[in-house]
A and B are shown apart, each in its own frame.
Chain A
Amino acid sequence: MINLILRRLLQSAVVLLVMSLLVFIAVYAIGDPIALLVDPQADQRDIARVRASLGLDAPWWAQYGHFLAAAGRGDLGQTFTHGEPAIRLVLARMPATLELASAALLIALVAGVPLGLWAGLRPNSLSARLVNGLALLGFSLPTFWVGMMLIMLFAVGLGWLPTGGRGPTEPVFGMPLSITGIEGWRHLLLPAVTLALFKWSLLLRLTAGATREAMRQDYVRFARARGLFPARIVGVHVLKNILIPIVTVSGLEFGSLIAFAVVTETVFAWPGMGKLLIDAIAVLDRPVVVAYLLITVALFVAINLVVDLLYALLDPRVRLGSAA
């Protein structure tokens, strides 16, 4: 186990290094932040001075070297526009994104697994086909459009929910969270549902497929033969077995929820990391873009590690460490 964690950490370090290089080159190639940041009245000398003070006068590889050396000390640079360490800015916006992604995952699980079970048990019924059709819709509708439609319906049309933004927050273990109050949930509901839609479809289909598969297995047949109640067969035998892939996929998809949140946060003016990223790209605030991507990658890596460990716990057949 220790071995696995050590090897994972080493791999992660390599991934982060490669990512940082790619991101750095990409952002460097887009354009010149100075052209966007320095005020129009500034003359060439001012521009040159600012360029030098931000370290943008060096060739890209020297800038990258500089960045790496500082990153080794945990410093991802100062943001150009906010005058603060980039890492602090991104981390300050993380609770909002984590809250949104967690709520979305919760909604996807609560709405997806039971429906999937239902559809899997009666694969040929009309209701199962209806549910499957809905899931297909969930896969194919663009997030931006769904978000706008929900806003137009529930916020503009009916006036039940706010159009965007985050409700009042309260610190929970030092993290400002809005899910402690009703107002917070009112703000969270629409963006969380929008973000959940795709994952809900995925979990529904996964559950339905796994259920169908499980129902054909010998242990279910034997259970039936023993005369157990259907509720017990499904609730204990089937569910226990299909839970393993569901947990794994949920964990892995949590990472992509955080990444996908970019679009949803933009539509709902949700003050998370994704919206920060979009606004930072607009003004080429390179340290913020780099910090966001590195932190997201680190989060991905950490989540995957936790999922692998959970997997090993749930399913003793999986021997971690022995595979290549």
Chain B
Amino acid sequence: MAELKPYREIPIGGRIEKAGNSEEFKTGDWKTFKPVWNSEKCTNCMVCPVLCPEDCIPVEKGEKPVRKETDLDYCKGCGICAQVCPVKCIEMKKGDADE
């Protein structure tokens, strides 16, 4: 979170004067469990990126797409990825993104 500004220094009416800033709002800090992904076991089947409700599992495009590390800044810890993984390479562990 950026430094909080005094009332004279903010735009009137709560306006946000910069477009496309929602990326700066990290929404992943209230998870109880975080997904721990084992990249060696992963077969890049692409089931978890498709079913992730937060769209926070990045995929590197190419002839054969490659799954990348989950973006914990936005992951809510719902566990769907772990549930649907056919090779069980994702484990839900207690603790938030900072641990």
**A associates with B:** no
Where the two chains meet, the residues of B that have a C-beta atom closer than 8 Å to any C-beta of A are none
